[in-house]
């Protein structure tokens, strides 16, 4: 059994991120520290055991020598084992590699929680060779999240969300928290999740847009970062049942203002992410060729996109296998091919009324189309959907009628047109899609902690 040498100085408790500790070098003694974490990598040689310890803040190379390597505990070390290591922090010789320039020369340790080796070992449950969106990897998502790749993505995600909060705050937008349990639809009945609500019927929200609109008069420009839910029946790379929706609504603007604001928010968020050296390093690893988008983004009208698709050689066809005609939905495959070929952010604008949501404002110069925009990014396609909103009371009532929406349930939304209407618009950005683009992910499934999509509601 291992005993701590009582003659050694008392160890100072640190986390791996703590860089403010004296390092030993040559004759000079380094600080004696204790640091808790889990074994992330393990390499055993005859007289030396190398541990890469992780504590969520960073990774530290640790060295055990001599009798420390011969205890029962040391022989049963495995990936995941949690322990507290005591020892001297030393500078790593220039010619040696380590996660940072320090290594811990361990003089004592305590195992906190062992982890299995053999059949049950973490390495047998998750494999870096596999795609992290494989079913078995998703079943073991809780262990996948211990890996470097997933952890970097989750940190990047956290930071990106913070960058949105910061940027909106700097732009004087007020954050609100609309409800998730609702009794109205925003984006069509086909993707509503029903939930029993006492003696009533309710849905999980598809979008907080309608609620954001209601507070423009008193709060000015507003935003929220909330979950949205869609009962999507298709399994695609970019559809989730539950996703994080960054939504904003702007008052007294026109369509050009909306597009300009969108460019601004996207670029400022990217700047705020890249400003952080740790995030910039993650991004470099995840997406080595990433380049900040150039402003202005390409603006392309829906009708021009239809023409563009048909002009390709061979033409890019619609889902029925025909050339596109005005009024067709530009489906995911066609949209993505177009975006990949053009290979820069696109604002696709002025969609026909029939294929867009009930609330969208018509283009005053062409009644067939709406003042609507999708922002398309290479590799993913649509990451943002937005529009100007109908201002007129009668027009909105007619839109309910057209869509078969019971106007009475929307009285609170309609009232915005009754009590002092205004030209306003907004958008929703799917955080997972934004991240899939930013970090070059094959699918949005790896950009969420525990993805939800048709057929998966665990872990
Ligand atoms: O285009 P959508 O449906 O627009 C709205 O919901 C508006 N009411 C938003 C608003 O104006 N406030 O969705 C907006 C964005 C999409 O561009 C996409 O990024 C994301 O939400 N999104 C999804 N992300 C993952 N999985 C799904 N099933 C998604 N559906 C939409």
Confidence class for position 278, pLDDT limits 50, 70, 90: very high
Q: Which residue puts its alpha carbon closest to atom 27 of ligand 1? A: 239
Share of the chain above pLDDT 90, in %: 92
Using 50, 70 and 90 to split pLDDT, how confident is the model at 234?
A: confident
Q: Is the per-residue pLDDT at 5 higher than 90?
A: yes
Site to probe by mutation for ligand 1, drawn from 210, 428, 431, 443 as the one with most ligand atoms within 8 Å of Cβ, is 428
- Is the ipTM reported for this complex over the cut 0.95? yes
According to DSSP, the β-strands at 346-349 and 298-301 are parallel
State the pLDDT at residue 423: 98
For the residues 304-310, what does the mean pLDDT come to?
96
> Which DSSP letter does residue 316 get?
P
Is it the case that residue 99 has pLDDT exceeding 80?
no
pLDDT at 127 over 90: no
Q: Residue 142 — very low, low, confident or very high, per pLDDT cuts 50/70/90?
A: very high
> Which residue ranges does the chain devote to CATH 3.30.930.10?
142-447
pLDDT in tens, 208-229: 999 999 999 999 999 999 999 9
For 39-60, the pLDDT digits (tens) are 999 999 888 999 999 999 999 9
Query: Exposed (0-12), middle (13-18) or buried (19+): which is 408, by Cβ within 10 Å?
Result: exposed
- The pLDDT tens digits of the residues spanning 188-204 come to 999 999 999 999 999 99
Please check the confidence at residue 16 and state whether its pLDDT lies above 80: yes
CA 268 – CA 285 distance, rounded (Å) = 21
**Of residues 142, 146, 10, 1, the one with CA closest to residue 82:** 146
Q: How many CB atoms lie within 10 A of CB 321?
A: 6
DSSP 199: T
How close is the Cα of 384 to the center of ligand 1, in Å? Answer: 7
- Residue 327 backbone zone (phi > 0: left; psi -120 to 50: alpha; other: beta): left
Quote the ligand 1 centre to 187 CA distance (angstroms).
9
pLDDT value for 100: 79
**428 CA to centre of ligand 1 in angstroms:** 6
Closest residue CA from atom 9 of ligand 1: 428
> Measured in angstroms, how far is the CA atom of residue 349 from the centroid of ligand 1?
16
Can you give the pLDDT at residue 68?
A: 94
pTM of the model: 0.95
Give the pLDDT band (50/70/90) at residue 377. very high
> For 12-120, which CATH superfamily applies?
Nucleic acid-binding proteins (2.40.50.140)
Say whether pLDDT at 398 is over 90. yes
Residues 6 or more apart whose CB falls under 8 angstroms from that of 114 comprise 73, 76, 78, 81
Q: Which residues line ligand 1 (CB under 6 A)?
A: 186-187, 207, 209, 230, 232, 239-240, 243, 245, 247, 382-386, 426-430, 432-433, 444
**What residue ranges of the chain are covered by domains with CATH 2.40.50.140?**
12-120
**What Cα–Cα distance (Å) separates residue 457 from each residue in 138, 141, 241, 307, 448?**
10, 12, 9, 41, 13
* Alpha helices per DSSP H over 182-241: 209-214, 216-219
d(CA 371, CA 407): 23
Ligand 1 atom closest to 383 (CA): 19
pLDDT surpassing 90 at residue 372: yes
**CA gap 250, 271 in Å, rounded:** 22
Is it true that domain 142-447 has CATH number 3.30.930.10?
Answer: yes
Q: What is the mean pLDDT of the chain?
A: 95
Examine residue 314 and say whether the peptide bond preceding it is cis (omega within 30 degrees of 0): yes
Q: What are the φ and ψ backbone dihedral angles of 326, each rounded to 5 degrees? A: -55, 130
Three-class SS of residue 142?
helix
Atom 1 in ligand 1: residue holding the nearest Cα:
385
Atom of ligand 1 nearest to the CA of 245: 21
**Structural contact between residues 72 and 81, judged by C-beta atoms closer than 8 angstroms:** no
């Amino acid at each position: 059994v291992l005993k701590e040498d009582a003659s050694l100085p008392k160890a100072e408790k640190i986390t791996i991120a703590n860089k403010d500790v004296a390092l030993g070098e040559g004759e000079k003694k380094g600080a004696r520290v204790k640091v808790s974490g889990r074994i992330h990598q393990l390499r055993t040689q005859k007289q030396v055991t190398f541990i890469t310890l992780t504590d969520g803040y960073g990774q530290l190379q640790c060295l055990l020598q001599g009798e420390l390597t011969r205890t029962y505990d040391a022989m049963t070390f495995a990936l995941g084992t949690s322990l507290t290591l005591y020892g001297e922090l030393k500078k790593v010789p220039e010619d040696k590699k380590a996660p940072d320039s320090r290594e811990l020369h361990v003089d004592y340790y305590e195992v906190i929680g062992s982890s299995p080796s053999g059949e049950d070992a973490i390495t047998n449950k998750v494999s870096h060779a596999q795609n992290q969106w494989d079913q078995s990897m998703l079943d073991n998502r809780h262990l996948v999240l211990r890996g470097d790749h997933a952890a970097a993505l989750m940190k990047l995600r956290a930071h990106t969300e913070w960058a949105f909060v910061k940027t909106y705050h700097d732009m004087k937008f007020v954050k609100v928290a609309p409800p998730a349990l609702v009794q109205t639809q925003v984006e069509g009945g086909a993707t509503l999740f029903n939930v029993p609500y006492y003696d009533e019927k309710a849905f999980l929200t598809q979008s907080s847009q309608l609620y954001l609109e209601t507070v423009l008069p008193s709060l000015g420009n507003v935003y929220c970062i909330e979950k949205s839910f869609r009962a999507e029946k298709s399994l695609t790379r970019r559809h989730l049942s539950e996703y994080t929706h960054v939504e904003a609504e702007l008052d007294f603007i026109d369509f050009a203002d909306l597009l300009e604001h969108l460019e601004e928010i996207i670029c400022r968020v990217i700047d705020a992410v890249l400003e952080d050296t740790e995030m910039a390093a993650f991004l470099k690893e995840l997406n080595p060729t990433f380049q900040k988008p150039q402003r202005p983004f390409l603006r392309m009208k829906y009708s021009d996109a239809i023409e563009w698709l048909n002009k390709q050689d061979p033409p890019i066809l619609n889902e029925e296998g025909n050339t596109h005609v005005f009024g067709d939905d530009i489906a995911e495959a066609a949209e993505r091919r177009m975006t990949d070929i053009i290979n820069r952010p696109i604002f696709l604008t002025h969609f026909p009324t029939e294929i867009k949501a009930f609330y969208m404002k018509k283009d005053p110069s062409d009644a067939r189309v709406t003042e609507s925009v999708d922002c398309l990014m290479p590799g993913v396609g649509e990451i943002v959907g937005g529009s100007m909103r109908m201002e007129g009371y009668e027009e909105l009532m007619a839109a309910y009628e057209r869509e078969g929406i019971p106007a009475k349930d929307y009285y609170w939304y309609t009232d915005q047109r009754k009590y002092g209407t205004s030209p306003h618009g907004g958008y929703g950005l799917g955080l997972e899609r934004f991240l899939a683009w930013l970090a070059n992910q094959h699918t949005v499934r790896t950009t969420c902690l525990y993805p939800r999509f048709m057929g998966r509601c665990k872990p």
